[in-house]
Amino acid sequence: MAQDDPRTLVSTEWLASHMRDPDLRILDGSMYLPGSGRDAKAEYDAGHIPGARFFDIDDISDSRSDLPHMAPPIEKFMSRLRAMGVGDGHQVVVYDGAGLFSAARVWWLFKLMGQNDVAVLDGGLPKWVAEGRDLEDMPPIVRDRHMTVRRQAHLVKDVTQVSAASKLRDQEIIDARSAGRFRGEEPEPRPGLRAGHIPGSKNVHYASLLNDDQTMKSPEETRAIFEAAGVDLSKPAITTCGSGVTAAILSLAMARMGKDDHSLYDGSWSEWGMFPTVPVATGDS
């Protein structure tokens, strides 16, 4: 049984017992890859955890960027969350409809904006539903709430910083994509990207950190998985993936392990795989 931690991961039991807390805010942070045939907003409208607001990862992003769902400017994050009635003094719990897929990205965005009282629901909506817990299809009653944002620049990396880390090998770059995509053997879901990985990076597929019910494995188990992949946990870490979503699952796992010196490469492979001037490695190393 996972240890409940309102700053990283909480169980369905924890959420059920705190549902009536006046300062609890629940967010549905579901998003699905193109071609999945799933519509996150339509699924939210049809049924969500009582009181949940829908956090649209594609909308609450940097619309000036050509890259998918890059972290939004501070002002946009503040105004969107204020309109959702989420702000200072709230304990936020984020879940998604896949179990644990995109909710960690929302958790990371809150951390980036200096919000610490935010946790991911372990096992997400599927576990909640499997346990026979309530859903509702009504939108919540929202009252504006001010949010104070202090952007934590050290939690995010750009292509220049990752390129330097790739050359210097002074930080561990950890790729959350599947082994086939990492090795360059499977096609990328987004067209026009080269196949392979950032030179010097290590591969820890995000799914390897999850149990069959999409709950996260224990900190001891996840630590062993990182070490088995050749990750030196004494070095600062940079997480990456296809578009900066599942990388946050690796970041969440490290936070649960008590490792705080990690950042996320927001552009991830959507940027690196498109950038003509940065090198690409294939195979296992």
Which residue numbers are catalytic? 241
Could you tell me the CA-to-CA distances from 29 to 95, 150, 215, 245, 276 in Å, in that order?
A: 6, 22, 16, 11, 33
Both ends of the chain: CA-CA distance in Å? 35
Rounded CA separation 128/113 (Å)? 28
Q: What is the DSSP string of 66-112?
A: SSTTPPPPHHHHHHHHHHTT--TTPEEEEE-TTSSSSHHHHHHHHHH
Provide the CA 194 distance to its chain's centre, in angstroms.
23
Could you tell me the CA-to-CA distances from 15 to 50, 121, 127, 165 in Å, in that order?
A: 11, 8, 12, 39
DSSP H or E segment with residue 27:
strand 24-28
